[in-house]
Structure 1
Amino acid sequence: MGMRSGTLIRRRQLARILRDLRRRSGFTIEDLAPQLDFSASKLSRIENAHQGVDVHVVRTMMDIFGVTGDQWEALLTLTREASAKGWWRAYGLDDQGYVPLEAEASAVREYTVNYLPGLLQTADYARALFESSLHVGSRAVRENDVEVRMIRQQRLTDPENPLTLVAVIEEAAVRRVIGDPDVMCAQLAHVLEAAELETVTVQVLPSGVGAHPSVTGAFIVLSFERMGEPDIGYVEHPMGSIHIEKAEDVARGRVVFDHLRSRALSPEESAALIERVATQM
Structure 2
Amino acid sequence: MDADRSSESKLNVRQRRVARYLRGWLASATPKTNQAALAKELGWSPAKLNLFLTAKKPTPVAEIIAIATMLHVDEQERDRVVAYARKGEQDEAWWASYSDDAIQGSAADFIETEAEASAVKNLQMNLVPGLLQTADYAGALVRSWLEEPNEAVVEERSKVRQRRQARLTDEKYPLKLHALVHESALEQNIGGLDTMLQQLDHLVTVADLPTVTLQLIPKEVGEYAGFGTSFHLITFDDGGDAAVHLENLTWGIYIEEDAQVAAYTLNFKRVLTHALDPEATVERIKEIRARRARDRKE
Instruction: Name the TM-score class by shorter chain.
Output: 0.7 to 0.9
Q: Which letter maps to 2:227? A: V
The answer to whether residue 160 in structure 2 is matched with residue 148 in structure 1 is: yes
1:258 corresponds to:
269
What does the per-residue CA deviation read over 1:64-122, in whole Å, with 9 as the maximum and x for residues that have no partner?
77889766754543222133442222224568632122111221111111110001011
C-alpha contact (below 8 Å) 2:20/2:53 kept by paired residues: yes
CA-to-aligned-CA distance 1:202-233 (integer Å, 9 cap, x gap): 11111111111122322221122x12222211
**Comparing 152-161 and 27-36, the one that deviates more:** 27-36
Residues 147-186 of structure 1: CA distance to partner in whole angstroms, max 9, x if unpaired? 1111111111122222111111111111212112222222
Confirm or deny: 8 A CA contact 1:156 1:200 kept in the other structure.
yes
Amino acid at match of 2:124: T
State the secondary structure of the residue aligned to 1:254.
helix
CA distance in 2, matches of 1:262, 1:254: 13
Residue pair 1:130, 1:136 contacting (<8 A) in 2 also: no
Q: Which is worse superposed, 24-33 or 186-195? A: 24-33
User: Within the alignment, does 1:172 sit opposite 2:184 as a pair?
Assistant: yes
Equivalent residue for 1:15? Answer: 19
Please give the TM-score of this superposition, normalised by the length of structure 2. Answer: 0.78
Identify if the C-alpha distance between structure 1 residues 187 and 198 changes in structure 2 by more than 3 Å, giving closer, same or farther: same
Equivalent residue in structure 1 for 2:289, among 253, 273, 278:
278
The CA deviation at 1:251 is 1.6
- Of all paired residues, the percent bearing the same amino acid is 33
> Is 1:79 the counterpart of 2:85 in the alignment?
yes
CA distance in 1, matches of 2:75, 2:191: 57
The letter for the 2-side match of 1:15 is A
CA distance in 1, matches of 2:93, 2:252: 21
Change (3 A) 1:204 1:24: same
> Conserved in 2, the CA contact under 8 Å of 1:107 and 1:165?
yes
Q: 1:49 aligns with which of 44, 55, 58?
A: 55
Distance in structure 2 (CA, Å) of the matches to 1:205 and 1:69: 46
CA contact (8 A) 2:230 2:246 kept: yes
CA 1:126–1:210: 2 relative to 1, 3 Å: same
Residue 59 of structure 2 aligns to a residue whose secondary structure is coil
Deviates further, 178-187 or 59-68: 59-68
After TM superposition, list the pairs within 5 Å mapping 1:122-133 onto structure 2. 122-133=134-145
Q: Residue 262 of structure 2: SS of its match in structure 1?
A: helix
Unpaired runs of 5+ in structure 2? 1-8, 294-298
TM-score, structure 1 as length reference: 0.83
TM-align CA RMSD: 3.1
**1:264 is aligned with what amino acid?**
A
Amino acid at match of 2:284: L
Q: Is the 8 A contact 1:6 1:85 kept in 2?
A: no
Which amino acid is 1:276 matched to?
E
